Amino acid sequence: MALGNSLNNNKDIATNCLNASQELLHQKCLMISDIEHQKKFLSINPIHKQIMEQTSELLSTFTDTLKFPSDKPEISKFCGECGFQNTDYQPFCPECGNKLKK
């Protein structure tokens, strides 16, 4: 809900949703009796971790990048020819030379 409201420029509602999500996760965490499990509950699950580390400023910055078209050329994350994972976003595949710009 926070993401959707931020995309629709409802910043106050987005912040309230984010704060409520963080509070709910915190309350759920307190219900766990084992301290080590509590730590893992918030740090290992990637969704929980992202919610807990998110701030309204980071949320706004992220959603702003989704709203405005980028002037950068789109570069594929994987090579369609050999399947190479293009983690460095190179314009050409270093394995087979295939063009990775879309």
**Contact in structure between 13 and 5 (CB atoms under 8 Å):** yes
**Strand partners for 75:** 101
Q: What is the pLDDT of residue 70?
A: 63
Instruction: Report the C-alpha gap between 89 and 100 in whole angstroms.
Output: 8
Per-residue model confidence as pLDDT tens digits over 39-72: 899 888 899 998 999 998 988 888 887 877 666 6
Ranges of each domain in the chain: 2-67, 70-102
